[in-house]
Structure 1
Amino acid sequence: MGLGRITEGRVPTPSFSVDHVVIFVEDLGRASDDYAALGFTIVPGGVHADGLTHNALIPFADGRYLELLALTATWKRRVFRALARSGLDRVLTRRSPLLGRALRRIRSGGGLADFALACSPLGGVVGAGEIDGPVTGGRVRPDGQEVSWRLAFPRAAVLPFLIEDVTARHLRVPPNVTHANGAAGVQALTVATGSFDRSVASYQALLGREPFETVAPIPRSLAVEFRLETVAIRILAPIGPTHPLRAPLAQRGDGLYGVVLRADRAANLDPARAHRALITLAKS
């Protein structure tokens, strides 16, 4: 069974493109300072409509961006940790499916939490039982401008969530932002999984396309990639019990593992300064 793609004519076949990457951080101000020190230009995003989270954006010339996402208050972080210890964290995340997805992966700390595909029309993928939604999201920018979008959430944890703008996209994603470190766009995303065949099949069903063979960036790995415009989504699975992916998979589960940014220089960014996110600059 597929993931809800409708091809009978009532709803056009959806198109997909990588929209943004979510990095969950403990303290948004400190993370913004740290990413600025790494050479990124930080754009304050605002408070989300649910009041639970706020964000800052790192937009690129290709229209994609990194999102630094944090809970809005220290007491909320304490409440979540207490609920997580008791297994009742759904009480906190019920109002925000996106936050719930992120927090399920980052109980052990911050870092790469999720990524989003822009999907148009969103109605082309929902309604068959394997994708939840759509739900309305939004935030108020620091200048008072309200922006809104719709989201859908595949039940397969290895898949990204889906987003479709309601207000104009340029209101959500600032254009014409440059960075001192030369970063200009997203080149590749690495998704780690412990169930290679099932994960590849989930991406095939969602995207409606076959993967390409690729060279694994980590030796002794199974690997394929799906290409969306100029971005490669690499699906990676470990071979053998001592593989370096075993530990993060045990700690965080299937999902986003690494990001490669297109830039005018090559560098591996300090994971401590990047709040545990594995980000590489690749010279293009």
Structure 2
Amino acid sequence: MSEPSTKILDHIVHLTPPGTVELASQQFRDLGFNVTPGGTHTGGLTANALVILADGSYLELISFTHPASHYPPTSPDRQKRDSNPWSHKHPGWIDYAFLGSSDPDVSIARIINERADLDRSGAAYDPEVDGGRVREDGKTLKWMITAPHEERKRGTLPFFCGDVTPREWRVPIDPPSNSKHPSGVLGIAHVRILTMTESLDAQSSQLTSVVGDPPVEHSSSGYTWSLETPHSGLGVLRPRLILSAPVDEDEEAYLAERGPGVYEVAFWVQPGGKEGTSATPYGKIVWQVKTT
């Protein structure tokens, strides 16, 4: 049996302050996105809403339900809150996920770790753990998460989300209007990861172990991989994963404040849609017009 692809972009995570999922949803509507209600994750620490795209990927608009100070310092809920990999992240683009395996007997962690051993890249993933959430309509979703071994790698290396329940429960593509947006957005054009210049080559080697393919472009300032999406075979343009060093003082300041991770997300837009750049209150957006 052939191994599953490890380069299918599943979703990108955008964090806002505690209790602000509804506010973030309105902010993204103001940017021209159609936002679909999500739900509360297992354990009740986080809640989300979704921006579903025609290429099958989506944006996850997430926030913690309460600030850390809401929980008594030694309580189990506070410990869970503090140990969440996103608990100390600044608001904005904080992480991205590739589509994992839906077969419990197929371990994405094993596949990547075996590649990394051969490549000697140093990439390492922990065994799969269970995850899930309850939708607003009461439907319970279940999935398996595969994440980098080192928490500091989250947002630079992707995590993987493999559905146990049907993916269309997690990503409701019906009705088709869920993935139609006033801005003209069709899908993801690129996800750009910012890292330090001195870490660029080592980080590239690790991402190659994860993606399973070498970069399609390489220069002194960065590397680019071609990814797939859940609907790649349906004529949609494929996204790119870009790893780059900062190119100006603003990017250097961003990197110094937040550390390596997702810096900007670009969207394919149909002709007549948005162009140029925009920003959420916390993250950069690029609108890229589809010309072919």
Find the partner of 1:15 among 5, 29, 37. 5
Q: 2:147 aligns with which of 142, 149, 153?
A: 153
Contact 2:217–2:225 (CA<8 Å) still a contact in 1?
A: no
One-letter identity of the residue aligned with 2:4: P
- Of all paired residues, the percent bearing the same amino acid is 31
**Structure 1 segment 236-275 matched on structure 2, within 5 A:** 236-238=244-246, 243-264=249-270, 265-268=273-276, 270-271=278-279, 274-275=280-281
Asked if 2 retains the 8 angstrom alpha-carbon contact of 1:105 and 1:253, the reply is no
Aligned equivalent of 2:32:
39
Residues 40 and 134 of structure 2 are in contact (CA less than 8 Å); yes or no, is this contact kept in structure 1?
A: yes
Residue correspondence of structure 1 range 23-172 to structure 2 within 5 A: 23-26=14-17, 27-73=20-66, 76-79=67-70, 92-94=81-83, 100-106=84-90, 110-120=91-101, 123-127=106-110, 128=113, 130-155=124-149, 157=153, 158-172=156-170
Q: Give, in whole Å, the separation in 2 of the partners of 1:70 and 1:236.
A: 27
For residue 286 of structure 2, what is the aligned residue in structure 1? 280
**4+ runs of 1 displaced by more than 4 Å?**
none
Is the Cα contact below 8 Å between 1:62 and 1:185 reproduced in 2?
yes
Query: What residue ranges of structure 1 are gaps of 5+ in the alignment?
Result: 1-8, 84-88, 95-99, 216-220
Summarize the Cα distance change of 1:91–1:48 in structure 2 as closer, same or farther, 3 Å threshold: closer
For 2:224, give the aligned amino acid. E
Please list the CA deviations of residues 65-88 of structure 1 after superposition, one character each: whole Å capped at 9, or x if unmatched: 111001113xx34458x98xxxxx
**Gapped regions of structure 2 (runs ≥ 5):** 114-122, 229-237
Partners of 1:150 and 1:165 within 8 A in 2: yes
* Structure (1 or 2) with the greater strand fraction: 1
Q: Deviations over 1:212-263 (max 9, x none)?
A: 2257xxxxx7111011121100010136xx6432111111111111100111
SS in 2 for 1:101: coil
TM-score scaled by length of structure 1: 0.80
Q: Secondary structure at the match of 2:100?
A: strand
Give the paired residue count. Answer: 249
TM-score with structure 2 setting the length: 0.78
Q: Please tell me the root mean square deviation across aligned C-alpha atoms, in Å.
A: 2.4
Please, which of 184, 191, 198 is the counterpart of residue 202 of structure 2?
198
